Amino acid sequence: MNLGWLYVFLAAFVEIFWVLGLKYSTNLLMWTGTVITIIFSFYFIIKACDILPAGTVYAVFTGCGAAAIAIIDFSLLGADFTIAKALFISLIITGVVGIQLTTVPKQKSEEKGSS
């Protein structure tokens, strides 16, 4: 797997924790943890943008995070589940996979100059 995609998926994974932190933090320690996870998430996004196009990074990051959080809401937090929601989440996942399969990493400036 390309290192850029690893950074994107790490950012999306960490996003799950800070989104839940935004909802459930009740004291200074929890809020501190939430802020730290936001910092890590955006660090991974910045690293991914060094390798992959920024628009692609953002689309995959938000899509993965949104789908994962929705699945957690249904399975662990008691949110209402409908077939329509499942269909739309599967469309998000399909789009994320499609973007990943069709994206070529950026070339480094040294490679461009020597061609």
What's residue 115's pLDDT?
46
Q: The pTM is what? A: 0.75
Q: Where are the domains of the chain?
A: 3-104
Mean pLDDT of residues grouped by 10 in the chain (115 residues)? 88 93 93 96 95 89 88 87 89 86 70 49
CB contact at 8 A, 8 and 45: yes
Query: Cα dihedral sign for 24, 28, 29, 35?
Result: positive
CB contact at 8 A, 9 and 67: no
